């Protein structure tokens, strides 16, 4: 099979297995690879599960739809969707496709300096992001961005709506 | 008798608190029911009693009238399958949802979360839930179906019930539902399709994309479609995401499809398909396509398949692209790039050159007539009218130039959109727009009646759009309950009121637990053949598994 098709096939296989065997989320979604960069944005689709040796904890501040800020402590290497879910953040509809780049409900808005530090998003992430409601220049999909130590204290904003650009 | 079975297999069970009926020897009670006629038991216990007429499968639902303490007993006559249930219910508003697609489930989710006592019963005409997530979303997109996990969570809420195999409008009327429930929500989607109304549309070899999708996805009504795939050229009319879905399924190598939950009959037919070229034809231009970039990119990456785009169609667009909004800009850039390059790398160029299949986009073409082969046995081509655009950007209109051309093909899939239909004449319907007229989900002029999803806003929008829409309707219901616009009525309500009507008609409602059995059976059958599931295609068989 050509390299270019590995992405859909392997991603689907993974998510297919996840869905159909009802494997717990925690066991299958944290495939972000801790890296030395200031911020890793390794799309889970391309990464291999790597045993997490990093035990360091960092704080992420989620600015919720009602304007309140919820700080959460989390392990380095986790992605911003899993962190929200594991900490029971009450965001309606967040992460509908469970981090498989098929929905854009995990849309988050970053502060410019932080956004600039992030690794370039993949075409696949941008494709999905294009459909997010209230898209900004510093938007990313939470399930594709993993936190690193350098990001301690990072603030991300949950956009107000979750409508879809396919209908505007 | 295994009392545990009673708990696990609980019909009506997940709706309330389940507990064993204390003080009754289960076997003795079973005898009592068997010995006494319905009337005797009725008088004896001062309880209302219902009996279903399905032979060999009598079930009794017995309910005592002390308010707030409803008890249910259910008993099947098969000796090894006696079941008892006791169910206490606390009073609260009763909400009914018609349709178990994303609209139904997201509306239910919002109501259950934001109203602490409301009970939500979801009626579905098929024995299986999830609407187009099961029967629409392409089999090679399993990640999209992850939303099923959220829906399953909603269904497992003790205040939520699923009643499958009940067609509203036929088995139970909307008027009956409105009598039994404090709020009724129409979220029955769009089951029909738009047509062109041109000659030849009913020829053999011409299908609606809706039926073709139903065929490969296991929709019971479409299992016998048997599309004619013995032709080298297929034409898909329409340029939305459904058009790309059906084109992709026609062109994807079987090695990829056969490990998905595609139906067995579709996989077998596609294995011998001779379709090599698929044209996707739109009435407007490249800046007006309805498909989105993710789906287009997938087409550009299809193994053993090359794009056939005419660079002339995109001439002059490069300058225009800069002023477009980001989504349209990126989509157009990808179209231009795909049309211009024969592959960005040498490896890619080689892959495209060696491809044995191809897909192309044709713009500014409207079908005028579908042409028949000489013997009249099947489609042989389409006469297309050439259009030009009036206006620009997304609102541009296609205007005929008067010029026509013929495109030869042996298979036509019409993919110009789905269509909702009226459910019964007590529910207002705007047949022009094909939606139920409403304000923020409240059906115009009908207090207590709501709508959400495709039947509310028309048959466009992805699951995310439908979710937003469902939440909005859910909010309208919760607001109306909280502000007192809706005044819940006491007494026997909701499902308890409707079930006897269904029993009388011999309709066996499928619970979510029954669905879990169907689900497990399908996954088990799938596992044997290396697929995530093998869908059951026959309603009767679904019901058999549900009742096993
Ligand atoms: C082919 C296709 C592929 C798609 N792929 C994607 C995708 O990949 N990603 C994405 O985000 N979106 C996709 N969509 C869009 C998505 O499926 C819709 O946004 C969504 O399903 C609409 O939800 P709904 O609940 O309004 O309708 P539906 O999903 O159609 O649900 C309606 C339900 O009501 C039931 N019903 C109908 N009549 C009655 C009755 N009389 N009584 C009781 N029940 C009744 C139906 O059986 C059905 O279960 C796709 C759509 C199609 C057509
Ligand atoms: N992977 C996914 O995310 C996915 C997959 C499938 C479906 N969906 C969603 O489901 C919804 C429905 O999809 P859809 O493809 O059925 O509908 P759609 O997106 O509305 O596309 C309909 C297409 O048919 C054309 N059309 C309509 N009437 C026509 C006519 N009379 N003559 C010629 N062409 C006509 C439209 O062209 P005009 O623009 O000129 O009207 C358009 O190209 C969409 O929102 C879609 O995004 C999503
Ligand atoms: S959770 Fe669906 S794209 Fe991130």
Q: For residue B470, is it within any domain?
A: yes
pLDDT in the model for residue B509: 96
Considering the domain architecture, whether residues B163 and B22 belong to the same structural domain is answered as: no
CB B437 within 8 Å of CB B444: yes
Does B466 share its domain with B477? Answer: yes
Do B517 and B506 fall into the same domain? no
Please list, in sequence order, all residues whose beta carbon lies within 8 angstroms of the beta carbon of residue A48, skipping any fewer than 6 positions away: A31, A33
Within a domain: residue B219?
A: no
Say how far apart CA B153 and CA B149 lie, in whole Å: 6
B94 and B494 in contact (C-beta within 8 Å)? yes
Beta strands in B391-517 (DSSP E): 397-408, 411-414, 418-419, 438-439, 442-443, 449-451
Q: Could you give phi then psi for residue A107, rounded to 5 degrees? A: -55, 130
Output the domain CATH number for residue B310: 3.50.50.60
Length of chain A: 168
Least-confidence region, from A89-98, A104-113, B40-49, B467-476: B40-49
B173: burial class by Cβ within 10 Å (0-12, 13-18, 19+)?
Answer: middle
**Mean pLDDT calculated for residue range A113-129:** 95
pLDDT of residue B441: 98
Residue numbers in A near B292 (CB within 8 A):
127, 130-131, 166
B109: CATH: 3.40.50.720
Q: How many whole angstroms separate alpha carbon A104 and alpha carbon A125?
A: 9
- Specify burial of residue A150 (Cβ count, 10 A radius: 0-12, 13-18, 19+): middle
Per the CB < 8 A criterion, the answer to whether B434 and B422 are in contact is no
Is residue B196 in a domain?
Answer: no
Last residue of a domain, one of B398, B414, B430: B414
Start-to-end C-alpha separation, chain B: 16
Contact A16 B532 (CB under 8 A): yes
pLDDT, average across residues B79-86: 40
Asked if the model's pLDDT at residue B30 lies above 60, the reply is: no
Q: Which residue has the higher pLDDT, A52 or A106?
A: A106
State yes or no: pLDDT of A72 exceeds 50: yes
Q: How much is the pLDDT for B313?
A: 96
Which of the residue ranges A30-39, A46-55, A125-134, B433-442 would you say has the lowest mean pLDDT?
Answer: A30-39
Tens digits of per-residue pLDDT, B223-247? 999 999 999 999 999 999 999 999 9
Rounded mean pLDDT of A74-101?
95
**What's the number of CA atoms in the CB half-sphere (13 Å) around residue A132?**
29
Say whether both B259 and B392 belong to one domain.
Answer: yes
| Owner of token pair 């081509």 | B381
Examine the pLDDT at B35 and tell me if it is beyond 70.
no
Residue A52: the pLDDT is: 52
- Count the neighbouring beta carbons within 10 Å of the beta carbon of residue B167: 15
pLDDT in tens, B381-409: 999 999 999 998 889 999 999 999 999 99
Burial class (CB in 10 A: 0-12, 13-18, 19+), A152: middle
pLDDT bucket at A32, cuts 50 / 70 / 90: low
* pLDDT number for residue A164: 38
* Per-residue CA distances from B129 to B9, B161, B242 (Å): 18, 12, 21
Q: Which helix (H) or strand (E) holds B453?
A: none
| Angle at the Cα of B193 from the Cα atoms of B191 and B199, rounded to 5 degrees | 150
Contacts of B170 (CB under 8 A, 6+ apart): none
pLDDT at A4 over 70: no
pLDDT at position B170 is 97
Tokens of B419: 């269509």
B147 assigned binding-site residue: no
Checking if the pLDDT of B292 tops 50, the result is yes
- Do A43 and A101 form a contact (C-beta atoms < 8 A)? yes
Please state, in angstroms and rounded to a whole number, the distance separating the CA atoms of residues B23 and B29. 10
| Chain A residues with CB-CB distance to B326 below 8 A | 130, 135
B239 assigned binding-site residue: yes
Which of B106, B147, B464 has the CB atom closest to A164's CB atom? B464
Q: Is B411 left (phi over 0), alpha (psi -120 to 50) or beta?
A: beta
Q: Say how far apart CA A13 and CA B301 lie, in whole Å.
A: 17
Residue B110 lies in a domain: yes
* B73 or B287, greater pLDDT: B287
Residue B68 or B135, more confident: B135
**Is residue B239 located within the same domain as residue B338?**
yes
How does strand B442-443 pair with strand B438-439? antiparallel
Comparing A3-12, B39-48, B140-149, B410-419, which segment has the lowest mean pLDDT?
Answer: B39-48
Q: Which ligand is nearest to the CA of B135?
A: 1
Structural domain that includes position B100: 94-191+420-510
DSSP B38-50: HHHHHHHHT-EEE
> Residue B269 has what pLDDT?
98
Nearest CA to ligand 1 atom 37: B188
Residues in chain B: 548
CA distance A160 to chain B (A): 11
Confidence of residue B31 (pLDDT cuts 50, 70, 90): very low
Distances (CA, A) of A126 to A10, A43, B321, B430: 19, 12, 17, 37
Per the structure, the count of domains in chain B is: 4
pLDDT confidence tier of residue B91, bands split at 50, 70 and 90 = confident
Are B505 and B449 in a shared domain? yes
Q: Which residue has the higher pLDDT, B188 or A48?
A: B188
Interface test with chain A among B102, B142, B338, by most A beta carbons within 10 Å: B142
Query: How far apart, in whole angstroms, are the C-alpha atoms of residue B136 and residue B462?
Result: 11
Q: What is the pLDDT of residue A69?
A: 97
* Chain B residue numbers touching A18 (CB-CB < 8 A): 146
> For residue B50, what pLDDT is reported?
34
Same domain, B399 and B426: no
Which of A107, A108, A141, A146 is the pocket-test mutation for ligand 3 (most atoms within 8 Å of CB)?
A141
Coil vs helix vs strand at B406: strand
Does residue B130 lie within any of the structural domains? yes
Q: What local confidence, expressed as pLDDT, does residue A39 receive? A: 39
Tell me whether A118 touches chain B (CB under 8 Å): no
Q: Is residue B364 part of a domain?
A: yes
User: Do B370 and B229 reside in the same domain of the chain?
Assistant: yes
Phi, psi of A141 (to 5 degrees): -95, 125
> Rounded mean pLDDT of A88-94?
93
3-state secondary structure of A19: helix
Query: pLDDT category, A133, cuts 50, 70, 90?
Result: confident
Q: State how beta strands B418-419 and B192-193 pair.
A: antiparallel
User: Between chains, do A13 and B461 touch, taking CB under 8 Å as contact?
Assistant: no
Under a CB-based contact definition with an 8 Å cutoff, are residues B418 and B195 in contact? no
Do B506 and B516 sit in the same domain of this protein? no
Q: Residue B315: pLDDT above 50?
A: yes
Residue B269: strand, helix, or coil: helix
- Pull the structure tokens for residue B447: 């207090």
Indicate if ligand 3 lies below 6 Å from the C-beta of A58.
no
- Is residue B25 located within the same domain as residue B158? no
Answer yes or no: is B104 within a domain: yes
Q: What pLDDT sits at residue B526?
A: 98
Instruction: Give the B-side interface with A, CB within 8 Å.
Output: 106, 110, 140-150, 256, 259-260, 292-294, 297-298, 301-303, 326-327, 330-331, 347-348, 351, 460-465, 467-468, 471, 523, 526, 532-533
Please say which residue of B58, B88, B118 terminates a domain: B88
Residue B492's pLDDT is 82
Please report which residue ranges of B94-196 form alpha helices under DSSP H.
Answer: 102-114, 132-135, 147-155, 174-180
Which ipTM was obtained for this model?
0.80
Closest-CA distance, A167 to chain B, in angstroms, reads 6
Residue, of B67 and B475, whose pLDDT is higher: B475
β B397-408/B192-193 pair status: unpaired
pLDDT in the model for residue B349: 86
Instruction: Indicate if B504 and B527 belong to the same structural domain.
Output: no
Which of B28, B56, B88 corresponds to the end of one domain? B88
- Cβ neighbours, 10 Å, residue A46: 14
Reference B394, options B314, B238, B241, B284; nearest CA is B284
| pLDDT score of A49 more than 60 | no
Please state, in angstroms and rounded to a whole number, the distance separating the CA atoms of residues B118 and B116.
Answer: 6
Please check whether residue B197 lies inside any domain of the structure. no
Cα-Cα-Cα-Cα dihedral sign, residues B175, B180, B184, B186: negative
B366 and B285 within one domain: yes
> Taking the mean position of all CA atoms in its chain, how far away is CA B531?
21
3-state secondary structure of B531: coil
Q: What is the mean pLDDT of chain B?
A: 86
* Nearest CA among B45, B206, B214, B225 for reference residue B126: B214
Select from B145, B292, B471 the Cβ nearest to the Cβ of A19.
Answer: B145
What's the pLDDT score for residue B323? 93
Question: Residue B453 region, left (φ>0) first, then alpha (ψ -120 to 50), else beta?
Answer: left
> What pTM did the predictor assign?
0.84
pLDDT digits (tens, 9 = 90+) for B410-452: 999 999 999 999 999 999 999 999 999 999 999 999 999 999 9
Write down the pLDDT at residue B47. 32
Neighbours of B406 (CB within 10 A): 12
């Amino acid at each position: 099979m050509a390299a270019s098709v590995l992405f859909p096939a392997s991603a689907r296989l993974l998510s297919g297995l996840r869905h159909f065997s009802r494997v717990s989320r925690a066991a299958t979604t944290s495939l972000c690879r801790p890296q030395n960069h200031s911020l890793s944005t390794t799309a889970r689709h391309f990464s291999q599960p790597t045993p997490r040796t990093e035990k360091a904890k960092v704080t992420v501040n989620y600015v919720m739809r009602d304007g309140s800020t919820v700080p959460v402590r989390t392990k380095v290497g986790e992605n911003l969707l899993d962190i929200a879910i594991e900490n029971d953040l009450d965001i309606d509809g967040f992460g509908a496709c469970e981090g498989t780049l098929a929905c854009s409900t995990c849309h988050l808005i970053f502060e410019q300096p932080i956004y600039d530090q992030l690794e370039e998003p993949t075409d696949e992430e941008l494709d999905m992001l294009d459909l997010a409601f209230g898209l900004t220049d510093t938007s990313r999909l939470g399930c594709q961005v993993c936190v690193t130590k350098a990001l301690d204290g990072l603030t991300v904003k949950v956009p107000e709506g979750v409508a879809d650009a396919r209908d505007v | 008798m295994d009392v545990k079975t009673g708990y696990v297999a609980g019909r009506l069970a997940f709706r309330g608190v389940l507990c064993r009926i204390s003080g009754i020897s289960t076997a003795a009670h079973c005898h009592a029911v068997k010995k006494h006629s319905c009337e005797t038991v009725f008088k004896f216990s001062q309880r209302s009693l219902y009996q279903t007429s399905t032979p060999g499968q009598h079930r009794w639902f017995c309910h005592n009238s002390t308010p707030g303490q409803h008890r249910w007993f259910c008993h099947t006559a098969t000796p090894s399958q006696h079941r008892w249930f006791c169910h206490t219910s606390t009073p609260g508003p009763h909400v009914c949802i018609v349709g178990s697609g994303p609209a139904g489930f997201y509306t239910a989710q919002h109501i259950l979360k934001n109203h602490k006592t409301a009970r939500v019963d979801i009626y579905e005409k098929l024995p299986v839930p999830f609407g187009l997530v099961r029967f629409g979303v392409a089999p090679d997109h399993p990640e999209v179906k992850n939303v099923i996990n959220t829906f399953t969570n909603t269904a497992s809420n003790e205040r939520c019930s699923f009643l499958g195999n009940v067609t509203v409008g036929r088995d139970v009327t909307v008027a009956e539902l409105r009598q039994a429930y404090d709020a009724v929500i129409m979220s029955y989607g769009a089951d029909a399709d738009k047509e062109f109304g041109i000659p030849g549309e009913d020829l053999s070899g011409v299908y609606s994309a809706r039926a073709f999708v139903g065929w490969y996805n296991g929709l019971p009504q479409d299992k016998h479609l048997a599309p004619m795939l013995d032709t080298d050229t297929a034409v898909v009319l329409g340029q939305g995401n459904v058009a790309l879905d059906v084109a992709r399924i026609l062109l994807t190598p079987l090695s990829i499809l056969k490990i998905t939950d595609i139906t067995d009959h579709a996989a077998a037919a596609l294995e011998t398909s001779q379709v090599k070229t698929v044209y996707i034809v739109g009435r407007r231009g490249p800046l007006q396509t309805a498909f989105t970039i993710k789906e287009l990119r997938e087409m550009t990456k299809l193994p053993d398949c090359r794009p056939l785009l005419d660079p002339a169609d995109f001439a002059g667009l490069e300058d225009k692209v800069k002023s477009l909004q980001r989504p349209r800009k990126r989509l157009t850039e990808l179209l231009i790039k795909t049309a211009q390059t024969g592959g960005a790398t040498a490896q890619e160029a080689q892959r495209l050159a060696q491809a044995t299949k191809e897909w192309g986009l044709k713009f500014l073409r409207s079908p005028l007539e579908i042409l028949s082969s000489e013997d009249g046995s099947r489609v042989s081509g389409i006469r297309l009218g050439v259009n030009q655009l009036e206006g620009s950007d997304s609102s541009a209109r296609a205007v005929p130039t008067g010029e026509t051309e013929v495109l030869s093909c042996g298979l036509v899939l019409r993919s110009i959109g789905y269509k909702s239909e009226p459910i019964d004449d007590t529910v207002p319907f705007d047949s022009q727009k094909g939606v139920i007229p409403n304000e923020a989900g409240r059906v115009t002029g009908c207090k207590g009646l709501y709508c959400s999803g495709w039947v509310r806003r028309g048959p466009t929008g992805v699951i995310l759009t439908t979710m937003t829409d469902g939440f909005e309707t859910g909010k309208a219901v919760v607001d109306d309950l909280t502000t007192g616009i809706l005044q819940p009525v006491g007494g026997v309500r909701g499902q308890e009121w409707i079930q006897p009507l269904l029993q009388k008609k011999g309709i066996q409602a499928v619970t979510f637990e029954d669905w879990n059995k169907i689900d497990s059976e399908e996954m088990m059958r799938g596992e044997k053949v290396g697929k995530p599931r093998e869908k059951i295609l026959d309603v009767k068989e679904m019901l058999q598994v549900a009742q096993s």
